């Protein structure tokens, strides 16, 4: 069994308030849940209106398939409206 963790830092450049940021982040989190059936939460920068960090976890059977899923998640985030991908880190346990 493989546990994969993806940490993603994003900028929400169009956000002018925490309410704007939460709307965009909620949309991204829901898209990830719907597309990949993963656990996802905002894990840092809670008080910053234009920055966010998502923690995403999935469980799988093979390292190769876990890496493929993580790659697809990064691409989904990269192409999400209102979000600029700053950096990401993946870890397999």
DSSP H or E stretch at residue 79: none
The yes-or-no verdict on residue 5 having pLDDT over 90 is: yes
Domains and CATH numbers, the chain: 2-92 (3.30.70.1120)
Distance from C-alpha of 15 to C-alpha of 48, rounded to nearest angstrom: 10
Residue 22's pLDDT is what? Answer: 94
Q: What would the pLDDT profile of 24-65 be if each residue is shown by its tens digit?
A: 999 999 999 999 999 999 998 888 889 999 999 999 999 999
Q: What are the structure tokens assigned to 78, written together?
A: 């990269």
With bands split at pLDDT 50, 70 and 90, how would you rate the model's confidence at 87?
very high
Q: How many angstroms separate the Cα of 11 from the Cα of each of 16, 21, 37? A: 12, 9, 24
Q: What would the pLDDT profile of 11-28 be if each residue is shown by its tens digit?
A: 999 999 999 999 999 999
Q: Give just the sign of the alpha carbon dihedral 79, 84, 89, 92.
A: negative
């Amino acid at each position: 069994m493989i546990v994969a963790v993806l940490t993603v830092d994003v900028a929400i450049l169009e956000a002018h308030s925490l309410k704007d940021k939460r709307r965009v982040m909620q949309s991204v989190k829901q898209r990830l849940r719907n597309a990949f059936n993963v656990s996802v939460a905002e894990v840092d920068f809670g008080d910053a209106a234009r920055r966010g960090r998502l923690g995403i976890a999935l469980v799988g059977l093979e390292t190769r398939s876990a890496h493929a899923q993580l790659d697809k998640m990064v691409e989904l985030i990269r192409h999400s409206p209102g979000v600029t991908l700053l950096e990401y880190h993946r870890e397999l346990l």
